[in-house]
Chain A
């Protein structure tokens, strides 16, 4: 079946450094790629998303890049802060079908002071 692979599963970075999380997907029909942040004991919340007609999108310290040919997309967080510590999930989905959303297994990001 279709799947989304997310790496790494855990990531520890020094405060102020950058963090990169990578995802690959298998369904070529995927055209919407959101990233969700989940703090401990809380609900997932969208932090940034990208659509297949765009290669890169940035929102302050967060950016996402998409390579449709390689079926690969990445989350980049710059100047990391303690409040960035959380689990991050990527997902691949399609405008045309609600059933086609597949989440990655998550990355636990820890920011060292």
Chain B
């Protein structure tokens, strides 16, 4: 099993450009999450999903959109990138809300 995978691994964007980050999991988990990790601030929840076709806002949702059209995939979109969105983005999945989260390898995004 591959677990949780993310593409791309690295990306550089100019301010105002758009992009989509893809997360895939093969563990048949219902719950999926997108986090951003900034130095000294731990992991902050952007959006999450409790099942196929559902999405909800986390702690820092502004500037991001998500979609969960298939149970195994969770997409994170940036419509108009800003330098403040420079970060490392982690996707995660879990069987239920209060259980272990399995993280992807991360995507390092730089917005210039």
Of all chain A residues, which has the CB nearest B41? A105
- How many contacting A-B pairs (Cβ < 8 A)? 62
Query: Among the listed stretches B18-26, B62-70, B71-79, B99-107, which one makes contact with chain A, having 4 or more residues with CB under 8 Å of it?
Result: B99-107
Known contacts A93-B98, A95-B98, A103-B42, A43 near B104 by CB under 8 Å: yes
- Majority secondary structure of chain B interface residues (helix, strand, loop or mixed): loop
Cβ contacts under 8 Å, B96 to chain A: 95
Instruction: Report whether A44 and B90 are in contact in the complex, using a CB–CB cutoff of 8 Å.
Output: yes
Contact size range, B = 20 to 34
Given contacts A51-B98, A96-B98, A104-B42, 16 further A-B contacts (CB under 8 A): A6-B42, A43-B103, A43-B104, A43-B106, A46-B100, A46-B101, A89-B43, A93-B97, A95-B97, A95-B98, A98-B48, A99-B57, A99-B58, A102-B59, A103-B44, A105-B41
